Chains A and B, each alone.
Chain A
Amino acid sequence: MAAGGRSPALRVRELSVSFARSHGGQRGAVVPVQAVRDLTFDVAPGEVLGLIGESGSGKSTVGLAALGLHDMARTTVTGSIQVGGTEIVGAPEKRLCAVRGARAAMVFQDALAALSPFHSVGAQLAEAYRLHHPGTPRAEARRRATDMLERVAIPAARARDYPHQFSGGMRQRVMIAMALINSPQLLIADEPTTALDARVQRQVLRLLDELRQEHGTAVLLVTHDVGVVAEMADRMLVLRGGREVEQGSAQGLLGAAAKPYTRALIGAAPTLHTVPGTRLPTVDDPDPVPRSGHEAPPARAGARPAAAAATVSPIAEVRGLWVEFAARGSRLPGLRRAPVQAVRDVSLAIAPGETLGLVGESGSGKSTTARVLAGLQRPTSGSVHFDGRDISAAARHTRLRRELSREVQLVFQDPYASLNPRRTVEQIVTTPLLAHTNQRAAERRERAAWLLERVGLKTEHLARYPHEFSGGQRQRIGIARALAPAPRLLIADEPVSALDVSVQAQVLNLLMDLRDEFGLSLLFVSHDLAVVRHFCDRIAVLHGGEVVETGTRDAVFDHPSHDYTRELLAATL
């Protein structure tokens, strides 16, 4: 199979990859971890194959192995990987260097980390070109670099700027331009848009698709996001635990997958067409019964009981909220820059039993608003009330904040960072009880055990430490901690965005159950419109620190009144 026109751009046969995981450099007890097992697939020229799986499925390992970029000293690769007919497995570095960046190129997830902070973007592109066109004059390489940058809509004048001076979307476009400057036959894109806001993600994916067609490049698209695969891929391959679950045409699998795991993965992430408030399918339970079956009140679409109660006085309310942050820079008064206005004249109210969704892109002020309501951030001006009481001073007054935290609790985004690794689950969950009640140790322990059961964990988990749990379980612990003092308002700041889709579905299902069971009011902060639509009664859309639109879920999603909302909706995959 030499340079035949129909030979695959990437041909993988019985690929297995294992890592020797050494513990702190100690000898002995080197247990190999099998990351990928017996994987076989082809990517035809010009085709997009979506390699989809959750964290730990080995999908990124496959991408790295295709260019021989893994840590050679610790990795064992067996089987065969051919890029345009050239064998990669076991190839000497010289042969790999000739393939990398020329015939096969890679786009990494986090462009800020993946681009050199020390060189201008133009210089980085020019280097990529000159490496594979030795003898090209520098001026010529620079010209090609700026041409390519302009192709991804970055003005030539910015070629001399450094990566940290660009926005996230622009950096990812630089990364794509650099990968495509030598017109490779194969592009490996590892989560190319995962860190980006929806609108930017849309732009970058469009651009990637255009360029791919221009250059006739085959793409191995590594992602956890079903939406991205649906948008981009011709075929898809589902990975779980390093093994293939199934592969086939993207259309076919998205419509009717044979394997339950694939079905769960596809159904786990709510879309703009999912019926709101329904139980989401999970990996253990790919075809769930509707939520209305249990003791919980029937959850027909858009008709949760408290939602309509607009006349009731709100449990929490902000009026005319402004939050400014002092700008970094000179301390001299004359040279001081204008402060950054994170929140500008925001007014919101949460009715008892209601879930308010706060949606916006990064930098829209949604987390800052949530922090003000939690009493953690001092407002620059405006009123903040909880249950009729003025709490705008809570950030400065320990006693007021303490009283407030009995009623208002938080669930955080990162379940790894938000639990103290040196405390047991029991200590973590009972801390709010210690602060707010006079319960004795045995009572606190009993309540903690009861809470753990409510969030789907077991009593015997009380004595364990956070590192013994998976991300989803940790988020459950965080929820149990938040519920411990029986708060009336729960503020959840991106509570599921750090989780895998199937775990996200479990946690969302859990939050929906708990909300009904405890009659909680919720402020749910998220960048993900589909999740917000699934979970919330009322929505406020934030843009540049201002509320551009508020309304009931159906009003906002079915008849958005603001252009920005429409743009966001159009960009949601």
Chain B
Amino acid sequence: MLRYVFRRALQTAAVLLAITAATFGLFYAAPSDPALIACGPKCDTGQVEAVRHSMGLDQPIVQQYADYLRGLVAGRTIKDVDGTPIDCGAPCLGYSYTLHQPVSAAIADHLPVTLSLATGALAVILVLGIGTGLVSALRRGSRTDRLLSGFTLIGASVQIYFLGYALQYLLVYSTDLLPLPGYVPLADDAGGWAAGLLLPWLVLGFVNAAIFARLSRAQLLEVMHEGYVRTARGKGLSARRAHLKYTARGAAPPLVQLLGLEAGALFGGAFITETVFGLGGVGKLAVDAVVGNDLPTVVGTVLLAALCVVVFVAVADLVVAWLDPRVRLA
């Protein structure tokens, strides 16, 4: 197992390095001049050149990339437009001249919302998706099964902005069943935190749960008929215990892998949901940065999203290896 973890960690590090190179390349490929944007529309050529120099953009690309990587690992000092030094702490993603703060600070401001939203949505996905799959598999062909599969079809086909607005209208404006969605820091008021995020959780979770419901149903039905489940019952295990100990374990790996991808995507920001419910998460930060040509922030958020996917996929692979000795001993 240790060898597998080591191998997997090495791969993950290599992928991350490649992603920093690609996103840094994006910085240069984008058809805009960061120095010009930072300086402002009223600058003349000389001023732009001065800004370019203070931002370090006149250095060779390799040098800039090395500085960027060094900043990511150890932090560095960045000069503002006018040359005042700004201290940029350890995971330094550069400085946003639009927001006038280091990108990492901007992300840190928006991260709690995204973390809260993603965690809750994942919980909904797990309970709703896998629960639905489990019930449909156990009652295959029954009325419940057909009802649930219709339900998951709705989940898979409905759009978040439609469902979000519809539920907000029904549950918040018309009936006052839920408070207006919004973000209250967890540390300040746990109840308010949960109440404000409940609707976004449900909407984001429901829409993404459909695929889990379908996959878990198919997986369980397949594994239920595996030879080792029959052997377990042949040993004297009751059907329920055989399914808990053997079917569940056999069915889990693809679900874990899909969950890893899903978690990676959610922790990288959920722009549509954030917009529908007026939540200022990382997704909103990223889209605003794209609209405002704020390249350092774009690169920073892209890197964060990629990091989330890569890390969660790696974690999912490790869980699968732990579940299935054939993977880790291959």
Contacts and interface: CB of A to CB of B under 8 A. Distances in A.
B291 to A, nearest CB: 43
A132 B236 contact: yes
B177 interface: no
A99 B234 CA distance: 9
A395 interface: no
B250 A118 contact: yes
Interface string B225-267: 0111011111111110000001001100000000000000000
A113 B230 CA distance: 10
Which A-B residue pairs are the 10 nearest by beta carbons? A101-B236, A113-B227, A101-B235, A114-B227, A116-B228, A100-B236, A106-B234, A162-B325, A128-B235, A114-B231
Nearest to A106: B234
Contact of A69 (B233, B250, B323, B326): B233
A162 B230 contact: no
Contact of B234 (A94, A105, A132): A105
A412 interface: no
B329 to A, nearest CB: 7
Nearest to A104: B234
A231 to B, nearest CB: 25
A127 B237 CA distance: 10
A162 B1 CA distance: 14
B326 A97 contact: no
17 contacts: A93-B239, A99-B236, A101-B234, A108-B227, A108-B231, A114-B227, A114-B230, A115-B228, A115-B231, A116-B228, A116-B231, A117-B250, A117-B325, A118-B250, A118-B324, A131-B236, A165-B329
Contacts of A204: none
Interface of B: 140-141, 226-228, 230-239, 246, 249-250, 323-326, 329
B226 to A, nearest CB: 7
Contact of A114 (B140, B228, B323, B325): B228
A148 to B, nearest CB: 14
Contacts, number: 71
A116 B326 CA distance: 11
Contacts of B249: 118
A164 B246 CA distance: 16
A276 to B, nearest CB: 39
A93 to B, nearest CB: 6
Residue of A99, A116, A132 contacting most chain B CB atoms (<10 Å): A116
A132 B228 CA distance: 19
A171 to B, nearest CB: 12
Contacts of B227: 108, 110, 113-114
Contacts of A128: 235-236
Residue of B141, B232, B239, B329 contacting most chain A CB atoms (<10 Å): B232
A100 B250 CA distance: 22
B141 A25 contact: yes
A218 interface: no
Interface in A70-110: 93-94, 97-102, 105-106, 108, 110
B228 A97 contact: no
Interface string A120-139: 00000001100110000000
A67 interface: yes
